[in-house]
C-alpha cells in the first residue's frame, strides 16, 4: 500500500472491554481484533486539513486536483484508502521521487473531536535528469543517451531529449508532454525526431525526419489516440544487390497524415494472460493535409483468452488490414503491410511472406493472420509452487496471407484472393515467464503451405525436412515495436537480467548457442 502512517486517535472515544483491576485473581479477557476494526470503520471522522511538505516549483492547483478526494472520506479506513489513492496519483505525475503520507489528529483552536490532518511528505525530482543505458533491437546493440526536464513549468510538464546510436539504426528526438490537471489519462504530446533504419528483408534503408502531435483520452472503457504527423521520408538501397523494384522506390516523399487508434484491453496480464480480451483498431488517412502520399489505411487486432481446466489457458487471436491508395499513384513500400515471423506466422522468416522481387520482399496492401494457442503446466508439474510455475507448455497453430488487391474487382474477389495460398504452421514448445516484463519461448515449428519465394527460419544444426526450431525472447512493451536480436546480444540481455537467471536456465543458453541466430521481439 506504500508508506502510510496513522497515529493514535486520542481525541476519539475508544470503546472496548472493561478489564478492571489486574490482580492475581484477575480473569484475562480476550479481545477480538474484529470488533476494534469494526469500530474504526464505522466511526465518523472529518479531514480538516491536508498539508504538503517539500513542495518547491510545483503549482498548488495541480496538487489539489489529485488530493481533493481525501476531503470526502467519512471514516478512518476511508481516509487511509483515499490517501493511498492520492499518493499513487501523485507518483503517476512523474514529478516526485518519493511520497509519504502521515495521518494525525487535528491540532489547534479549530480542531474538532473527530478531526484529522493528512500530511504528504514529498521529494521533488531535480530540474534536470540524465540517463545512459543500452538497448537491443534490429539485430544490434544500441547506446542510448537521454536528458529529461521533469515538471518544467510546475504542472507536470515534461521535456525529453533522447539520442540512440547503433550499428544499424541512429535516432534522436525531442518531445514535450503535458497532462490534463486532474485527469492524467488525458494528455497532449508533441515530438520532433529523425530516425534512420535498415530493413534487410527488403534491402531498404529509410530515413525519416518528422514532427507529430497527439492527444490521448479515455471514453468509457476505451482509450483513444488522435495523431497528426508530417514525415519527410528518404528511401535508399541497403545493398548493391537490391532488386529493381526496390531501386525504383528510392527517393524522397512527404507524408502528412491523420490517424486514430482505439484500444480496449481487459486482460489480466500483457505477458501471459489467463483471461480477458484485447481489441485494437487503427485508421490512417494521408494526403488530405498535404504531402505527395495519399492513402487510407485500416488495421485491427483482436485477442481472446480463456482459462480452462487444470490451469490451462486457450488464446485465440485475429488481425488484419487493408491499404487503399487514393489517386493514380501506387502505394509506397514504406506504407504497406508485412507478414511472417514470431509475431504473426511462426516458422517463416521475419516479414518474408508475400510479394517479392529477386529476394526482396515488397509487402502487400491487404493481409490477415490468426493464431490459436494452448498453454498448459509442465507435465507432472515439476517445481510446483516455485520456479516450475514460471514454465508453460505451448501448443500453437498460426495461419495468414498477404497480397495486393485489384480494387476494381469487388469485395468477393478480394476475399477469394486472401483465401488463396494460405501459409500456416503448427508446433509446440516451452514458454518461460520472466517476471512481469518478458517471456521466452523455445518452439519447434512445422511450416506448411509454403509458396515459392517464401523464406523459412532454418538452422542447419537442427533443421531436417520441414521442421524449424526457433528461439524467441519475447518482451512486452507499451510501444509494441518489433525487434530482432542476434545471438551475441542475447547473451548481453541475459547478463543484464542477472547471473541468477543465467544459472537457473543453463540448458536454454546452450540451446541458444547452438543456433545461428535468435529473435527478440517486443509487443506480443
pLDDT digits (tens, 9 = 90+) for 318-371: 999 999 999 888 899 999 999 988 878 988 888 889 898 888 999 999 999 999
182 has a pLDDT exceeding 50: yes
Choose the final residue of a domain: 124, 142, 173. 124
**Domain assignment of residue 410, yes or no:** yes
- Spatial neighbors of 52 by CB under 8 A, at least 6 apart, are 63, 119, 120, 122
Query: Are 36 and 73 found together in one domain?
Result: yes
Query: Are 97 and 199 found together in one domain?
Result: no
166 and 197 in contact (C-beta within 8 Å)? no
Distances (CA, A) of 30 to 27, 35, 40, 125, 373: 10, 11, 19, 49, 55
32-46, 236-250, 464-478, 499-513: segment of lowest average pLDDT: 499-513
192 φ, ψ to 5°?
-125, 130
In this prediction the pTM is: 0.74
How far is it, in rounded angstroms, from Cα 87 to Cα 96?
Answer: 10
Query: Are 372 and 510 found together in one domain?
Result: yes
**Domain assignment of residue 21, yes or no:** no
310 and 376 in contact (C-beta within 8 Å)? yes
378 has a pLDDT exceeding 90: no
**Domain assignment of residue 204, yes or no:** yes
pLDDT level of residue 514 (50, 70, 90 thresholds) = very low
396 has a pLDDT exceeding 60: yes
36-45, 111-120, 305-314, 415-424: segment of lowest average pLDDT: 36-45
Query: Are 111 and 180 found together in one domain?
Result: no
How far is it, in rounded angstroms, from Cα 427 to Cα 363?
Answer: 26
Task: Read off the C-alpha cell for 66.
Answer: 489529485
Greatest distance between any 2 Cα atoms in the chain: 103
- The partner residues of 132 in beta bridges, in order of sequence, read 145
**pLDDT at residue 136, rounded to an integer:** 60
**pLDDT at residue 458, rounded to an integer:** 59
Task: Read off the C-alpha cell for 106.
Answer: 487535528
Query: Are 141 and 61 found together in one domain?
Result: no
**pLDDT at residue 133, rounded to an integer:** 81
Count: domains in the chain: 2
**How does strand 423-434 pair with strand 251-265?**
unpaired
120 and 47 in contact (C-beta within 8 Å)? no
462 φ, ψ to 5°?
-120, -40
Query: Are 309 and 382 found together in one domain?
Result: yes
- Spatial neighbors of 139 by CB under 8 A, at least 6 apart, are 168, 200, 484, 485, 486, 489, 517
* CA 141 from centre of chain: 20
482 and 476 in contact (C-beta within 8 Å)? no
pLDDT level of residue 84 (50, 70, 90 thresholds) = very high
Choose the final residue of a domain: 64, 97, 124. 124
**pLDDT at residue 383, rounded to an integer:** 66
156 has a pLDDT exceeding 60: yes
CATH code of the domain in which 65 resides = 3.10.20.310
User: First-to-last CA distance in the chain?
Assistant: 30
Choose the final residue of a domain: 124, 150, 165. 124
Helix (H) or strand (E) holding 501: helix 499-504
250 φ, ψ to 5°?
-65, 150
How far is it, in rounded angstroms, from Cα 97 to Cα 148?
Answer: 14
470 has a pLDDT exceeding 50: no
How far is it, in rounded angstroms, from Cα 70 to Cα 50?
Answer: 8
Query: Are 68 and 208 found together in one domain?
Result: no
How far is it, in rounded angstroms, from Cα 465 to Cα 515?
Answer: 17
DSSP letters spanning 144-160: EEEEEEETSSSSS-EEE
How far is it, in rounded angstroms, from Cα 91 to Cα 150?
Answer: 13
Highest-confidence range of 5-9, 91-95, 380-384, 516-520, by mean pLDDT?
91-95
263 has a pLDDT exceeding 80: yes
- Spatial neighbors of 177 by CB under 8 A, at least 6 apart, are 157, 158, 159, 160, 187, 188, 189
How far is it, in rounded angstroms, from Cα 380 to Cα 134?
Answer: 40
Q: Find, among 123, 142, 141, the residue nearest to 58 by Cα.
A: 123
308 has a pLDDT exceeding 70: yes
More confident residue, 141 or 38: 141
**How does strand 115-124 pair with strand 46-53?**
parallel
Which domain covers residue 396, as residue numbers? 129-522
Average confidence score pLDDT of the chain: 79
105-109, 220-224, 291-295, 335-339: segment of lowest average pLDDT: 105-109
Query: Are 135 and 85 found together in one domain?
Result: no
Q: Other CB atoms closer than 10 Å to residue 418's CB: what's the count?
A: 20
338 and 363 in contact (C-beta within 8 Å)? yes
3-state helix, strand, coil in the chain (%, to 5): 15, 45, 35
pLDDT tens across 192-231, in order?
999 998 888 899 999 999 999 999 999 988 999 999 999 9
Query: Are 183 and 207 found together in one domain?
Result: yes
Query: Are 307 and 401 found together in one domain?
Result: yes
pLDDT tens across 270-282, in order?
888 999 999 999 9
pLDDT level of residue 435 (50, 70, 90 thresholds) = confident
Sign of the C-alpha dihedral computed for residues 407, 334, 138 and 466 taken in this order: positive
**Domain assignment of residue 22, yes or no:** no
Query: Are 413 and 365 found together in one domain?
Result: yes
Query: Are 276 and 425 found together in one domain?
Result: yes
62 φ, ψ to 5°?
-65, -30
CATH code of the domain in which 204 resides = 2.40.160.50
55 has a pLDDT exceeding 80: yes
How far is it, in rounded angstroms, from Cα 296 to Cα 22?
Answer: 85
Amino acid at each position: 500500500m506504500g508508506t502510510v502512517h496513522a497515529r493514535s486517535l486520542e481525541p476519539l472515544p475508544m470503546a472496548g472491554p472493561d478489564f478492571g483491576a489486574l490482580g492475581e485473581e484477575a480473569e484475562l479477557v480476550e479481545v477480538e481484533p474484529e470488533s476494534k476494526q469494526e469500530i474504526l470503520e464505522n466511526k465518523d471522522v472529518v479531514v480538516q486539513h491536508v498539508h504538503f511538505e517539500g513542495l518547491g516549483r510545483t503549482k498548488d492547483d495541480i496538487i489539489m486536483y489529485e488530493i481533493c478526494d481525501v476531503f470526502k472520506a467519512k471514516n478512518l479506513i476511508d481516509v487511509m484508502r483515499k490517501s493511498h489513492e492520492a499518493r499513487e496519483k501523485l507518483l503517476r505525475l512523474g514529478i516526485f521521487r518519493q511520497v509519504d503520507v502521515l495521518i494525525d489528529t487535528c491540532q489547534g483552536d479549530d480542531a474538532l473531536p473527530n478531526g484529522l490532518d493528512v500530511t504528504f511528505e514529498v521529494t521533488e525530482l531535480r530540474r534536470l535528469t540524465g540517463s545512459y543505458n543500452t538497448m537491443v533491437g534490429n539485430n544490434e546493440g544500441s547506446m542510448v543517451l537521454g536528458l529529461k526536464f521533469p515538471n518544467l513549468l510546475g504542472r507536470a510538464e515534461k521535456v525529453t531529449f533522447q539520442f540512440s546510436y547503433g550499428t544499424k539504426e541512429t535516432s534522436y528526438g525531442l518531445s514535450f508532454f503535458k497532462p490534463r490537471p486532474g485527469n492524467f489519462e488525458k494528455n497532449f504530446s508533441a515530438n520532433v525526431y529523425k530516425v534512420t533504419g535498415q530493413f534487410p528483408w527488403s534491402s531498404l534503408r529509410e530515413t525519416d525526419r518528422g514532427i507529430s502531435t497527439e492527444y490521448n483520452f479515455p471514453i468509457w472503457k476505451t482509450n483513444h489516440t488522435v495523431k497528426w504527423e508530417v514525415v519527410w521520408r528518404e528511401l535508399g538501397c541497403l545493398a548493391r544487390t537490391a532488386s529493381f523494384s526496390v531501386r525504383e522506390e528510392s527517393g524522397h516523399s512527404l507524408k502528412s497524415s491523420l490517424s486514430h487508434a482505439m484500444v480496449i484491453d481487459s486482460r489480466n496480464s500483457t505477458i501471459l494472460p489467463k483471461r480477458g480480451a484485447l481489441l485494437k483498431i487503427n485508421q490512417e488517412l494521408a494526403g488530405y493535409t498535404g504531402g505527395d502520399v495519399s492513402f487510407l489505411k485500416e488495421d485491427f487486432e483482436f485477442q481472446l483468452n480463456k482459462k480452462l481446466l487444470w490451469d490451462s489457458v486457450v488464446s485465440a487471436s485475429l488481425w488484419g488490414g487493408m491499404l487503399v491508395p487514393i489517386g493514380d499513384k501506387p502505394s509506397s513500400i514504406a506504407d504497406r503491410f508485412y507478414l511472417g515471423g514470431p509475431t504473426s506466422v511462426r516458422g517463416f522468416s521475419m516479414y518474408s511472406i508475400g510479394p517479392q522481387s529477386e529476394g526482396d520482399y515488397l509487402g502487400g496492401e491487404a493481409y490477415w493472420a490468426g493464431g490459436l494457442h494452448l498453454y498448459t503446466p509442465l507435465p507432472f508439474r515439476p517445481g510446483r509452487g516455485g520456479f516450475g510455475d514460471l514454465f508453460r507448455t505451448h501448443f500453437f497453430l498460426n495461419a495468414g496471407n498477404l497480397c495486393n488487391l485489384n480494387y476494381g474487382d469487388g469485395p468477393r474477389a478480394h476475399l477469394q484472393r486472401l483465401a488463396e495460398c494460405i501459409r500456416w504452421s503448427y508446433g509446440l514448445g516451452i514458454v518461460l515467464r520472466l517476471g512481469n516484463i518478458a517471456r521466452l519461448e523455445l518452439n519447434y515449428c512445422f511450416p506448411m503451405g509454403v509458396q515459392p519465394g517464401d523464406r523459412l527460419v532454418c538452422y542447419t544444426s537442427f533443421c531436417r525436412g520441414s521442421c524449424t526450431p526457433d528461439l524467441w525472447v519475447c518482451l512486452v512493451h507499451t510501444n509494441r515495436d518489433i525487434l530482432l536480436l542476434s545471438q551475441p546480444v542475447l547473451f548481453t540481455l541475459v547478463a543484464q537480467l542477472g547471473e541468477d537467471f543465467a544459472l537457473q536456465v543453463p540448458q536454454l543458453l546452450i540451446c541458444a548457442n547452438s543456433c545461428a541466430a535468435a529473435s527478440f521481439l517486443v509487443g506480443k
